[in-house]
Every structure is written in structure tokens, then in C-alpha cells.
Amino acid sequence: MGSPAVSLLAAGRGLVLTVLSLGFSLTLFLMTLLSLVFMPLGVGVFTTPWVLHVVRMHADRRRALAGEWAGLHIRTPYRPLPPGPFGVTGYVERCVLLLKDPATWRDFIWLITDAVFGYVLALLPPALIGYGVEGWVMFAGVWRAVAGGYWYGFVHVETFGDAVQCAALGSFVLLLACFANPYLITAHFQLARGLLAPTRGALLTQRVEQLYETRHDAVDTSAAELRRIERDLHDGAQARLVAMGMSLGTIEALIEHDPAKAKQLIAQARESSVEALTELRDLVRGIHPPVLAERGLGDAAEALALRMQVPVEVDVELPGRFAEPVESAAYFAVSEVLTNAVKHAVAEHIWLDIHYTYDAGGMLRISVTDDGQGGADVSNGSGIAGIERRLGPFDGILAISSPPGGPTMVTMEIPCRPT
């Protein structure tokens, strides 16, 4: 049984939902119907896109309230639309795309359903509270004014004994409201979710589009990585090896005539070989760090934290190793986030937390928090987009919280299982 405070809160939310259901949903249903009726006259071609835009705003607001008030997550099912409309052709194109979207017609059905059944479910919580209070109002003395001509439920109000029965019935209704009101509000949103959530077919379509985009991103990322490796080899180690070859040729010519000069060139060649080896090691570390391959994500993250210019406190709790592509994506994502925190956050301390949970089929969760200035603008720069591209092929997600003044928290999740 819920508390009286929870019951009253549900009743207040029910009053808000009654206005949205009967006022907005019914009005938008009639506006949409009229706009569709005027389609053959040509007027509907211009009015329908705007009316459906308002309908979607209204539906999105109900989806948001479902999450805030009932803990129900309702995903948006709409197909993407081009910008505009621009000109007559733009209106026609947008109208056709909207009418071809199955979610448009589900919204249309939801409007009338919400105006009838959703309204009833939203009205019941405040009605139960009001009806229960009415019983006690009768008991408080109002029964004398209405005696003989008023029924409260099944009680014909005539005497004080009838007023006592009104109070008892009112108490029962209030008790029922304490239990039922939260469930009635949840039922209202369950009804909305049945029509506002994407269908299985729509989810599959979105999934195919997401896989198509992430596949292209993965291909582009791989091509860019290969170009980077080729460029680093050409400009770094390859150039030094070529210079070493030329130096060795010069040494061969000078070793009999000018041993001192040849000895000097040998020392320079030795230094060049050391620098070339260092560059090759850095290049290999950039492709796949040896510590990651040998010891796993946890130790690799700790080694990465030690190289940062800002103190990084690391907390790792993992059940074992993961697939090599998952560990590689997680490692470089952490590297990018830590580098951004050091360069842009003006932080004095960074906290890195990596752990694994078996919820939702298994999830690798990584969070990076810094005490910097906050206010990170994720729209600037390509670092965040690069991290999202790394996580995309694994259905990973990235979330950033960075209010002005800090702190900044970057959270990454990758669905996976230990190997």
C-alpha cells in the first residue's frame, strides 16, 4: 500500500494528465483529422506537416513524463526527416514522408485512445481522493443540509447514522486510493507505451540503420588508422633507416682513408638506430600496446594513468579478460578521455573507474571524472565523435555530464562478456 503523500502526488499528476488527455490529445486528434480531410483540396499538404509536428511534440512530452513519473522508458519511433520544408515541393515531400511513417498513424490512434481511456485512467486518482473526502464532509455536518435527498454511493443520507456510514465508506475509498492511485498512473503510461513505443519492426529497422552506420564508421576509422601508420612509418622510422643506410655507405668508403670520420658516422648511425627503434615501439604501442595484449585492460589502464601529467586514481574491478577488439576499443577510449581531461579541463585530479556488471546480459562500465572547470562542449572537436565511433561497432554508448564549474564525468558502457 502506498502512503497518503504518494497517493496525493499521483492524484495531482492525474489532474495534469486529464488536461493533457482531454484538452490537448482530443484537440490534436480533431486538428489532424481535419487536416487529412483537406488533403484533396491541397490545403492539407501545407497544414499536415505542422500539425503532425505538434502531435509529435505532444507525444514526446508524454514519453518524457512516462520516464519521470512512472519509470517507463519509451523510445522515439520516428523515421528521420530532411530539413525544411522549403517551398511547395518541400511541403509535399515532407507530408508524404510523414504519412508513410507508421509511427504517424500510431500517434493518430493514440490521440483518440488517450482522449478516452487515458483520460479515464488519469481522472480516477483525483476522483478517488475527492470521493473519499466527500464521505467525511458528509459526516462533518453537511448531511443535515442534504438529508433525505442525497445518495453517497449506496448510502441514502437521512440520519446521523447514515453520515457515519458515509465516513466509513469514505475511509474505505481513501484507503483504496492509497493503494490504487500509483498503479492507475502507471496504467495510464502503460497504455501510452503500447502505441507510442516503436514496434518490433521499427526497432529492427533502426538496428539495421545503426549497424549500417557503424559499419561504415568502422571502415573509415580503419582506413584512417592505416593511413596514419603509413605516414608515421614513412616520416619516422623509414626515413631514419634510409639515413642509416646512406651513413653506412659513407662509412664503408671512409673506413680506410679517414677512420676518425668513419667512427663519428658510426656513432651517429647508432643514435639513429636507437631513435628508429623508439619510434617503432611508440608506433606499435599506438596500434596495440604490449601491456594490453599481455596483461589485459585493467593493467593497461593503470599503466596509461601513470603516464598522465595529472594524478589519476584508478579503481579496477574486472572478472578477467575480454575479447581483444573490446579491450582495444575501451583502452583507446579511456586514453582519449584522459588526454582531453588533462588538456582542456584544467583539472588537479582525475578518477578512473572500470568495472563489470552482469546486469543486462553483461556490461563493461567505465567512468572518468575530473575536478576541472567543467562546461565541456561536446559539439566542438572530433575527440568525442572518435570515441563514439570506437564504441559504435560494439553497441557501446557514451554519456557526458559537465556543468559549468565542474566536475566533468564521462561514462562509457560496452555490452560484452568475459572470455
Q: Is 151 helix (H, G, I), strand (E, B) or coil?
A: strand
The predicted-structure confidence for 107-127, as pLDDT tens digits, reads as follows 999 999 999 999 999 999 999
Report pLDDT for 34.
Answer: 94
Identify whether residues 234 and 262 lie together within a single domain.
yes
| 242-252 mean pLDDT | 74
Report pLDDT for 187.
Answer: 95
**Stronger pLDDT, 249 or 41, i.e. the higher one:** 41
Report pLDDT for 142.
Answer: 78
The predicted-structure confidence for 348-383, as pLDDT tens digits, reads as follows 899 999 999 887 678 999 999 988 887 776 665 546
The predicted-structure confidence for 132-164, as pLDDT tens digits, reads as follows 888 888 888 777 777 777 887 888 888 888 888
Report pLDDT for 331.
Answer: 87
| 16-26 mean pLDDT | 94
Identify whether residues 13 and 116 lie together within a single domain.
yes
Least confident interval from 37-41, 208-212, 383-387:
208-212
Identify whether residues 240 and 128 lie together within a single domain.
no
| 255-273 mean pLDDT | 76
Which of 170, 196, 222 is the last residue before a domain boundary?
196
Identify whether residues 159 and 19 lie together within a single domain.
yes
What total number of domains does the chain contain? 3
Identify whether residues 176 and 65 lie together within a single domain.
yes
Report pLDDT for 120.
Answer: 95
In terms of Cβ atoms closer than 10 Å to its own Cβ (0-12, 13-18, 19+), residue 339 is middle
Q: Is 318 helix (H, G, I), strand (E, B) or coil?
A: coil
| 270-275 mean pLDDT | 74
pLDDT at residue 276 tops 70: no
| Structure letter (DSSP) for residue 154 | T
Please tell me the distance from the alpha carbon of residue 140 to that of residue 174, in angstroms, as a whole number.
Answer: 16
Please tell me the distance from the alpha carbon of residue 387 to that of residue 256, in angstroms, as a whole number.
Answer: 57
Nearest CA to 154 among 133, 177, 131, 137? 131
Please tell me the distance from the alpha carbon of residue 347 to that of residue 335, in angstroms, as a whole number.
Answer: 16
Identify whether residues 46 and 160 lie together within a single domain.
yes
Please tell me the distance from the alpha carbon of residue 289 to that of residue 304, in angstroms, as a whole number.
Answer: 10
Amino acid at 378: V
Q: What are phi and psi of 255, to 5 degrees?
A: -60, -30
Report pLDDT for 391.
Answer: 81
Q: Residue 390 is part of a domain; what is its CATH number?
A: 3.30.565.10
Report pLDDT for 134.
Answer: 85
Identify whether residues 327 and 391 lie together within a single domain.
yes
Report pLDDT for 12.
Answer: 93
pTM across the whole model? 0.59
Report pLDDT for 220.
Answer: 61
Mean pLDDT, all residues of the chain = 83
User: pLDDT-based confidence at 244, cuts 50/70/90?
Assistant: confident
Contact 394, 416 (CB under 8 A): yes
Nearest CA to 147 among 131, 166, 129, 133? 166
pLDDT at residue 25 tops 90: yes
Identify whether residues 190 and 206 lie together within a single domain.
no
Which of 196, 211, 226 is the last residue before a domain boundary?
196
- Residue 146, all three cell numbers: 442534504
Please tell me the distance from the alpha carbon of residue 325 to that of residue 222, in angstroms, as a whole number.
Answer: 13
Domain residues for 369?
Answer: 291-415
In terms of Cβ atoms closer than 10 Å to its own Cβ (0-12, 13-18, 19+), residue 274 is exposed
Which of 270, 287, 304 is the last residue before a domain boundary?
287
Residue 392: how many CB atoms within 10 A of its CB?
Answer: 21
The predicted-structure confidence for 284-320, as pLDDT tens digits, reads as follows 555 566 777 788 888 888 988 888 888 899 999 998 8
Report pLDDT for 283.
Answer: 57
- Residue 151, all three cell numbers: 445518495
Nearest CA to 297 among 228, 384, 355? 355
As a residue count, the chain comes to 419
Report pLDDT for 377.
Answer: 65
| Structure letter (DSSP) for residue 410 | E
Please tell me the distance from the alpha carbon of residue 151 to that of residue 167, in angstroms, as a whole number.
Answer: 13
Order across the sheet with 312-317: list the strands: 312-317, 350-357, 363-370, 408-415, 397-401
The proportion of the chain whose per-residue pLDDT surpasses 90, expressed as a percent, equals 29
Identify whether residues 161 and 20 lie together within a single domain.
yes
Distances (CA, A) of 320 to 207, 288, 315, 355, 391: 30, 19, 15, 11, 20
| 236-256 mean pLDDT | 72
Report pLDDT for 92.
Answer: 87
Residues 6+ away with beta carbon under 8 Å from 315: 351, 352, 353, 354, 355
Highest mean pLDDT (candidates 71-80, 99-108, 208-217): 99-108
| 193-211 mean pLDDT | 76
Identify whether residues 80 and 178 lie together within a single domain.
yes
Report pLDDT for 222.
Answer: 60
pLDDT at residue 227 tops 80: no
Identify whether residues 339 and 397 lie together within a single domain.
yes
Report pLDDT for 128.
Answer: 93
| 182-201 mean pLDDT | 91
Q: Which helix (H) or strand (E) holds 39?
A: none
Identify whether residues 269 and 371 lie together within a single domain.
no
Amino acid at 180: A
